[in-house]
Structure 1
Amino acid sequence: MAMGSGRNGGNLKNAVVALLVPLPSILFYLCFLSNCGNGTCTGLWKWCYHHPLLLVNALFFLNVNFVFWLLSHVQSSHWMIDLYWTLIPVMLVHYFASHPLAHYNELRSWIAISLTWIWSIRLTHNYLRREGWQLGVREDWRFTDMRQQYGKNWWWVSFFAVYLSQQIFLIGVCLPLYVVHSVDEALNMWDLVAIFVCVSGIVIAYFADTQLHEFVTRNNELKMSGKSMVPNLEEGLWRYSRHPNYFGEQLWWWGLVIFAWGLGEEWSLVGSMVNSLCLAYVTKLVEERMVKQEYRAEAYRQYQKTTSVWIPWFNTSVKKDKNM
């Protein structure tokens, strides 16, 4: 009972912190809208009015990078940035839509906002399910590894490695949402393609993450009962791709790029391109971690030989079976 109440108390405390931490940016932006909603403003508000992208980057730097970084030292954990990765795109799309300089097609805006909410709910649900519905229990294993790697320098390296890098990625991948709310043109064929790609990405990522969660849960039960764990997940979508969840997530971001592409703003793909390159490196780290685990190393090396990395494709062993 005491341990349970302690966990619940910590969970409640972290939930309160997570709810309060974005308030400085939200309150500042509401003040800006009340003082400059009609475009007649002076001083700082005038700068905020004429520079929507610079403003959102300034708020991100001060409220996310700096404040989250300070809190990470108080809590000795960088857990909160993982949670907010699922929430910040929703905040950004509403910021882009509500800024006084925004002009856009209402239907396209409604579609983009709705899809972003669906993506966020899906990813937030997966994050909370993976963490056992607890907040702040652990940080991303990559941050833990870097903490050990950088040792006493981690206190300042973390500002750049964990937070400033997230600003580059999150603002970058959300640039198409800025474009959607900066160009007022009728819907076209590209919007239909974008909707299809975005929805496909969300659906694929949901089923891939659900299959992974069920696999991890079964293995934990086997471990608790003293039985041998299954070394590798090779069922469902994981039969055709070693990282179908990553593939689905990439489809989502590139689907947003198609919205911008159809509006003639191809430059906005830069964020998704950087994100894909980064995820390719993360994939390499994940697979190196897999083959270091003794009970699954051999099975995973065989899995690498027979199964596509990202894009789902027929398992090479299936092809051999068909030829037999």
Structure 2
Amino acid sequence: MRAVSLWLRRKHQLPLALAFRRFSTSNSKVKIFDRELKRTQRDRAAWLTPSHDPLLHTVAQNLLDRLQDCKKTFPTALCLGGSLQPITRSLSAPPGGVEKLIVMDASYDMLQACKNAHHNATVETHFLVADEEFLPIKESSVDLVVSCLGLHWTNDLPGAMIQSRLALKPDGLFLAAILGGETLKELRIACTLAQMEREGGISPRVSPLAQVRDAGNLLTRAGFTLPGVDVDEYVVKYESALELIEHLRAMGETNALYQMNNILKRDTALATAAIYDSMFSAEDGTVPATFQVIYMTGWREHPSQQKAKRRGSATISFNDIQKQFGSQN
């Protein structure tokens, strides 16, 4: 478990070329999240997010660290929504092996902010306004797809991952970080107790998120080979629950459920903050918030990749192994 301090505000701007295209939002049959509301939230977050947020930076760096284990390079990369600036900043920095970078988001304002923050990058960069649920990317056209804290807002996560796989060239790599089910567990508890106390019932205030046990199945279902999943938990300390809410707004991570009561009563909000403080406050007066991040890696199939041996092809049995090691005791 890692402790991450609150974000620091620092201006850091670098320009890049801009090539915008507009696409309509996806017409997914599954309606869990309001994609138009999420786009609006990301428009707002574009002006609230500081240039360096320690939580977003840490998650982005831990995700891209997985590239260090790869011996191959990825000339053409696609960055999907979520935490764009830390990812594009790292992929644009030499010597990363990336020659062409496509940055995609449903929010025009978020892309504009990302463009304004990267003026000195040497990588050919294109910015694309589009929805992760409907990728306007030619099949087998990119070597790397990276999504940092964005895909957990898609209505059809397996479908979005399948489209990412199809966009990859054979032996292309998919890297993604999504928030897991233990994220904001403190806020969930406080909000539930406050609603039961003040309103006599519960309405969803924190979005449903994928569980760790589901991540491997998602990769397999999407058709990726050599799937890999691991999890980190980051604990961020805030001065109050209200400061946590402001941080969530700045990250574009506030609730976007398709069916929810948009009006949160003032007394319920104040009760939530009071319960949060009384149940979880530390000795120094701060309150913690847990962010569980699930990291996923997968490859598009290629003949050069390692494959599992066919059933029955083993040349030694488990009984023989047991006898061999047992005889040494």
TM-score scaled by structure 2?
0.24
Would you tell me which structure has more strand in proportion to its own residues?
Answer: 2
Report which structure shows greater RCO (CA 8 Å, sep ≥6).
2
TM-score by length of 1: 0.24
